[in-house]
Amino acid sequence: MPDRFATQSVHAGEERRKPYGAVTTPIVQASTYTFSNTAEIVAFMQRKEAGEPPLRDEYGRYGNPTQRAAERKIAALEGAEEALLFASGMAAITTTLLALLSRGDHVVLTAGVYRRSAEFARDYLPRWGVESTVVPIDDPTALAAALRPSTRLILAETPTNPYLRVLDLERTAALALQHGILTAVDSTFATPINLRPLAYGFDLVFHSATKYLGGHNDLLAGAVIGSRALLGRIAAARGVLGGVGGPHDAYLLLRGMKTLALRVQRQNETALRMATFLEKHPAVQRVYYPGLPSHPDHEVARRQLAGFGGVVSFEVDGDLEATGRFVDRLQVPYVGPTLGGVESIVQQQALFISLDPEKRRAAGLADNLVRYAVGLEDAEDLIADLEQALAGI
């Protein structure tokens, strides 16, 4: 199979000849898979106990044919040996951490990781005797200083939400390799089209497949991608913890990924045009977009990303109430908490954290910050809509 992204998005991971001659991979809506006889069970168990890939399914919590097709496609897009599908991105992250960490271990997080990932490390991992440290995303000296003999994992996100900070993956991976530490990165905002972290030496990649991979705001799924050896340990934990993705979501995910390359390319182009427009507007104080030279990580982004992504964050010239009026004046995007779909979605992110101003400040989110996740609408329409809304501040 050719390895260009558009071709992989359409064909990778799926059987060329499908049941009934169908062009799409079917939904196998089954929880239980039967065996013809005892000999077939023995042969199945021999492969399973030898650690060999299964040739068939046993029970829905351990896998599903539709799910496996989605996993193969994600692995191909990331240039990886394997991928595992989960019920959500957080299920992928928490299951991986529980599978790879033990009492007495230490994990380092770079600042800006998804707040629920940080919450799990801060509030839940200590219950099992696992400690964590948070370091700045752009300070390799602080990262090196945070490492301990007990450090087992560096967990990062790039680009981050909502300020779109970009981690130097190559430098981080080299440091981790020097100390024998595993590396994992949440690459949801980048997608495999803009970034393949494994090519920079990272061990594991996470995606909230709910976002760009699905692309239509109609499914919930997550994935972890990496080597067969590492994912074998995580798959065993998934079977115990039960966070497996369902066949219908897997089918929707397969459908969504067929247009991934086209969608991300369009969102890259529109977001860069929008960020350039916003940076010049007098009613905008600051724009956060790694494709702009004004972004603190622009040089790293240019070196590392094939595209700068479909999210633009910016601070309008106003307070909490004025920013809310601006959001309410927008006519094209929906107001909501997600991203990556064909519909543009905007949010005043501070309000999704707390109505308490002290809690918002503690979270590092300005009251006038807006996160705009670009969809597939015409760029001229989105920019004209921004212009009329900004005029009302």
Helix, strand, coil share (%) of the chain residues, nearest 5: 45, 15, 40
Chunked into runs of 10 residues, the chain (393 residues) has average pLDDT values of: 76 83 88 94 91 84 93 97 98 98 98 96 98 97 98 98 97 98 98 98 98 97 97 96 95 97 98 98 98 98 98 96 96 96 94 79 86 98 98 87
Closest listed residue to residue 178, CA positions, set 138, 139, 151: 151
Whether 114 is catalytic is yes
DSSP 189-220: TTHHHH--GGGGT-SEEEE-TTTTTT-SS---
Query: Are the CB atoms for 235 and 6 separated by under 8 Å?
Result: no
First to last CA, the chain: 52
Token look-up 């989105």 returns 382
Q: How many CB atoms sit inside 10 A of residue 35's CB?
A: 13
pLDDT single digits (tens) 322-365: 999 999 999 999 999 999 999 999 999 888 877 788 877 777 88
Determine if the pTM surpasses 0.85: yes
Of 168, 186, 249, 297, catalytic: 186
Phi, psi torsion values for 52, nearest 5 degrees: -90, 150
3-state secondary structure of 139: coil
Per the annotation, the verdict on 186 as an active-site residue is yes
Active-site residue, 288 included:
no
**Whole-angstrom Cα distance, residue 193 to residue 279?**
26
Tell me how long the chain is.
393
Can you say whether the dihedral through the CA atoms of 150, 152, 158, 160 is positive or negative?
A: negative
Q: What is the pLDDT of residue 22?
A: 83
- Mean pLDDT score across all residues of the chain: 95
pLDDT of residue 80: 97
Catalytic site residue from 68, 105, 114, 360: 114
Catalytic annotation present for 62: no
Give the DSSP letter of residue 121.
I
Q: What is the pLDDT at residue 2?
A: 55
Q: Residue holding tokens 């990924």?
A: 257
Q: Say what the alpha-carbon torsion angle 247, 249, 250, 252 is, to the nearest 10 degrees.
A: 130
| Catalytic pick among 33, 61, 148, 329 | 61
Beta-carbon contacts of 305 under 8 Å, excluding residues fewer than 6 positions away, are 166, 190, 194, 195, 290
Domains of the chain and CATH, by start: 5-257 (3.40.640.10), 260-390 (3.90.1150.10)
Q: List the catalytic residue out of 68, 73, 211, 266.
A: 211
